[in-house]
Amino acid sequence: MSMKPDEEHKHDQFLQLYVETESSLRGFVRSLVPSLEDAKEVMQGTAAVLWRKFDQLDSPENFRRWAFGVARFEALAYRRDQARDRHVFSEELVLQLAKDTEKELERFDLEEKALEKCIRKLPEKNRALVKEAYFTGTKIDQIAKRADRTPMSLYKALHRIRIALADCIQNDLKKQEGFA
Amino acid sequence: MKSSNQDLELVRLYLDAQATAEEVKLLEQKMRKDHQLRKDFLSYARVDAALPYACNIPEKQTGKTFRFPPWSIWSSIAAIILFLLAINFKPTNPGLPESSKQAIAYFEKLENCRWMNSQEVVDQGSFLFVSDRIELSSGKANVRFSNGAIMSLEGPSIVELCSANSVFLTLGRAQVVAETPESQGFSITTPSSTFVDLGTSFTAAVAPDGLSRLGVTQGKVNLIIEEDHAHHLIEAGGTIFVEPGKHKVLTKIESGNESKDFIFPSIPPPSRDDYADTSHGIAKVSVPKGTLRKLPGWEVNPLSLLDGKGQTLPDSPKESVFLEKKGGTFGNLLIDLGKDIAIQRVNSYSWHQNQKVKKHKNRARQVFTLYGLQDQKIPDLNLPLIESGWKRIARVNSDRFFDVREDIDRPAQQACSIFASKGKIGDFRYLLVEVHGPTFFGEIDVFGNPAKP
């Protein structure tokens, strides 16, 4: 994959900006589409558009806002494709969620750091469940079978873990604000 | 204040993709009115999105996550590190236990390295731990694992160490040499696939938009597509691209024997048995955008792309379909299959070798993007293709594939095969080849069967 020097510089600059934005962008996209798989699809489409149109970015400082705009557009386009099964939010709500998210962009990096700490605070068995369900990508049905539990009980357990993590993140951020 | 349990259950159903259409509608109604519910929803969605990437979820409470320790810490324990290096961390020593607390690798060599976080100070010999993330902006870094595997990174690259025998390559390029018995099975996971070394050397690369490339230099590598439960064995000399997305499309390119027989290691020669072959009288080819190159007294019929044979000579414009470059672009070739076809595979062939100038084989390279469209009115091709309904199937750049750095390195005869990891590529009536190079196309074969309604 050899590249010309100016192309390499562009690639390098893109990567730096993209990496800085990627995780918050992913969270944003996730809120706009019904499943993690859908979010992956939209993220890939978003990355492809960002890279293709990178030359149009007026200033690197605006990358984040621009990326969120592109992601919103991609999520809406994806939503339109999927609209036939009606398991998606309306365009109006997607736009509202995008607006809500954009107000909190600055907090995303702090949230990400807090999440790392919060994962560590989870009880051992919850951490193991998160790892299996999210990182190794094992299907819930399979985990349930192995653990001799019902899939529904695992879905609910994961839901409780997500709530606990979200609460922990908020508390951590509040503490930081208190110290600031 | 947090939302009610009943509302949070709706959020759960949505995030677990279990909500019925009615439940989605109900959640929507509630969220439109309730700011707090929207806030909670967004907060849980962000956690849900972040967890799959938390490669650093420790097994035990004692684990730690850090990227690169500050130099102050390193300098104070430098002596201990050097001592450990000398006694324990011999290149092929498999004895280091795999634990989140202990080093699993170290930087063996660093060349002109610049890190994405300019605050990070990394030195040759620095240890690496499970969950460490290497963000190399430029330069080259060699990482030696405790099992003897060596991973060479070329910036810009981002890689996370998931275990002593596996890494996650988010972006960039990594070459792995796994020559020791302990390092067999070393794997690189990319956003689209996992490459498992079966001995001994391969290169993985991931483009910013998720396109993964696997090139096997020595031995064999198992390409695993988790979602499809599919495995593909790639042998030395083989290279394959994996498109990102739910439905994985693979692209293989091979160099031929430079004869009119078009013999390739695994891709079959041009075929008369494919669905689009002119002998069936069904498929049509046109040039909706761009201009076919004409020669005095000779005009190539684009339908010759489907006639089951490639060129008979190495530099034969009269037998080649190729588009003129105008205004910086080449144009498109449109294949109409008459109705929706469940497409299994698309093969394309090119051949060009100037008889006098050995290195002049520029028109052999295949550079195009393949799109598909179901049976419907063709949108205006001047509009952006994806936005107007075309589905991008694969991106082909054979120069990148063969890592061509000098013209002389380019194979003169090339075949490209595009296929799904499992099952069909998709149901399409139209295939659009958006041409990005001066390729001498000899043949395009489309394999498939009429799609089931």
Phi, psi of B221 (to 5 degrees): -135, 135
Identify the weakest region by mean pLDDT among A6-15, B161-170, B232-241.
A6-15
Q: What number of C-beta contacts closer than 8 Å exist between A and B?
A: 178
Tell me the Cα Rg of chain B: 26
Give mean pLDDT, residues B319-332. Answer: 89
- State the DSSP string of A142-165: HHHHHHT--HHHHHHHHHHHHHHH
Q: Give which of B250, B224, B254 is closest to B423, Cα–Cα.
A: B250
Domains of chain B by residue range: 5-53, 71-246, 250-450
Task: Tell me whether residues A85 and B387 touch, CB distance under 8 A.
Answer: no
- Say which of A14, A31, A47 has its CB closest to residue B210: A47
Segment 52-81 of chain B within 8 Å of chain A by CB? 52-61, 63, 65
The per-residue pLDDT for B278 is 95
* Substitution target from B6, B14, B48, B242 for chain A, most A beta carbons within 10 A: B48
The per-residue pLDDT for A140 is 86
CATH numeric code, B71-246:
2.60.120.1440
- State the DSSP string of A31-81: HHSSSHHHHHHHHHHHHHHHHHTGGG-S-GGGHHHHHHHHHHHHHHHHHHH
The answer to whether residues B170 and B159 touch, using CB atoms and an 8 Å cutoff, is: yes
Task: Tell me whether residues A169 and B63 touch, CB distance under 8 A.
Answer: no
Assigned CATH class of B250-450: mainly beta
The per-residue pLDDT for B427 is 94
Contacts of B260 (CB under 8 A, 6+ apart): B310, B311, B312, B313
The answer to whether residues B130 and B100 touch, using CB atoms and an 8 Å cutoff, is: yes
- If you measure CA to CA, which chain B residue comes closest to A39? B49
Which of chain B's residues have a Cβ under 8 Å away from the Cβ of A37? 246
Which of chain B's residues have a Cβ under 8 Å away from the Cβ of A165? 47
Angle at CA A119, nearest 5°, toward A114 and A122?
Answer: 130
**What is the interface pTM, i.e. ipTM, of the complex?**
0.86
> Residue A109, SS3?
helix
Task: Provide the 10 A C-beta neighbour count for residue B94.
Answer: 14
Q: Give which of B117, B137, B192 is closest to A14, Cα–Cα.
A: B137
Which of chain B's residues have a Cβ under 8 Å away from the Cβ of A96? 31-32, 38
Tens-digit pLDDT profile for residues A25-84 = 888 888 888 778 788 888 888 888 888 888 888 888 888 888 888 888 888 888 777 665
- Distance, in Å, from the CA atom of B220 to the CA atom of B60, rounded to the nearest integer, reads 35
The per-residue pLDDT for A178 is 65
- Distance, in Å, from the CA atom of B212 to the CA atom of B251, rounded to the nearest integer, reads 10
Q: What is the CA B3 to chain-centroid distance, rounded? A: 42
B210 or A119, greater pLDDT: A119
- Say which of B12, B14, B59 has its CB closest to residue A34: B14
Question: Selecting from 1.10.1740, 1.10.3470, 2.40.10, 1.25.40, what CATH number does the domain A5-103 have?
Answer: 1.10.1740
Q: Residue holding tokens 């509302």? A: B7
- State the DSSP string of B151-171: EEEEEEEEEEEEETTEEEEEE
Tell me the Cα Rg of chain A: 19
Contacts of B160 (CB under 8 A, 6+ apart): B55, B56, B131, B132, B133, B134, B167, B168, B170
CATH numeric code, A108-179:
1.10.10.10
CA-to-CA dists, residue A150 to A145, B189, B247, B311, B337, angstroms = 7, 30, 29, 61, 48
> What is this structure's pTM?
0.61
Task: Tell me whether residues B61 and A47 touch, CB distance under 8 A.
Answer: no
Tens-digit pLDDT profile for residues A151-160 = 899 999 999 9
Q: Given pLDDT bands bounded at 50, 70 and 90, which one contains residue B54?
A: low
The per-residue pLDDT for B77 is 31
- Say which of A11, A88, A120 has its CB closest to residue B58: A120
Domains of chain A by residue range: 5-103, 108-179
Task: Tell me whether residues A135 and B28 touch, CB distance under 8 A.
Answer: no
Topology match between the domains B71-246 and B250-450:
yes
Q: Given pLDDT bands bounded at 50, 70 and 90, which one contains residue B239?
A: confident
Q: Given pLDDT bands bounded at 50, 70 and 90, which one contains residue A7?
A: low
A12 or B125, greater pLDDT: B125
